[in-house]
Structure 1
Amino acid sequence: GLPIIGGKVKILDPDENGEGEICYKGPNVMIGYYQNEEATREAIDEEGYFHTGDYGKIETEGEDQWIYITGRLKNLIIFSNGKNVYPEELETDIQGVYGVGEVVVYAGESKSDPSKEVIVAEIYPDEDALKLRNITDPVTYFDEEIKKINRKNVSYKSIGKVKLRTEEFPKNTSRKITRFAIDKSID
């Protein structure tokens, strides 16, 4: 969308696609956290820009600057080759697959090989939907669907492992999935 009138937006440390952290400065931005100077220094830089924690880019169309949010900084997967993967982007693709109840994409963690880099899609299937289509082997079904998604993406965004859950993901009081509570081990 468009930034609020009277405010300024910048992209911090943009990558080759122009994507980086969205920072905003304006009269409607707080001056700091109450009695917490350290948190204020982390959130607001020397120029007065608030660091949103959102990843995105700015595109100019005529006089207007459009802001596109592509993900959250804390969820970003950064590979050793410098490539960035936005889990939310892949989650949106996977959410479009029939029979997906919930999905979280993350960088898998290997205890046996810490240098191993693999993108994991962990899916909580909608069992009722699968039954309606007589899908009796969800493992094979979702593996095939993820392969279709991988074919549409560049190679560094390929999902290397699919995990199925038997329970919903843990959520906070706002019913948002608590990513930090998910076991990210792959072996």
Structure 2
Amino acid sequence: MKTTALLALALALVAPAAHAGPGHDHGEAPPAATAHALPRFAASSDLFELVGVLDGKTLTLYLDRAATNEPRPAATVELELGGRPLKPQAQADGSYTVALPAPLEAGVHAVAATVTDGDDVDLLAAELDVHGEAHDAPAAGATGQRWGAAAGAVLGLGLLLGLGVAGRKALARRRAAGFGGAA
């Protein structure tokens, strides 16, 4: 009876170590891949809001009136980026674009924009934070999970083997005691 209980306990301890292999993992789903966000800046005042999005060597600007969020496609925008004066060109969709002579280096770049819209003139300032290329990091814990499963399986098998040896010795003692009794 004790041997059966010990065997059941050993099997219960070994069962959690039986993990699914590659392609059969039923654990937590891996996090969804995220797209690389483009560098951007935002500058605002009482009159205007200016948002810039950098995509390679193209800087796209979106200019709105602050009070109404109304696009200002007819405004004149003069831009200074990292000390270099640039002249954005108005686009049909209401945005403005600037073709940079070269991609910006990683780091923080000062942005200053002078906006003239009719009688309204305003100076907007911001910073554009450009990061270097993102590197893909290996999934954390992927290798550690496999080693943990293997270690659990080895420990479980060792426990099962130890219980088997102890059970055989106990059975041998019981048989020896039963056969060596008084006649």
Q: TM-score, normalised by structure 2?
A: 0.24
Q: Report which of the two has the higher share of helix.
A: 2
State the structure with bigger RCO (CA 8 A, min sep 6), 1 or 2: 2
Structure with higher Rg: it is 2
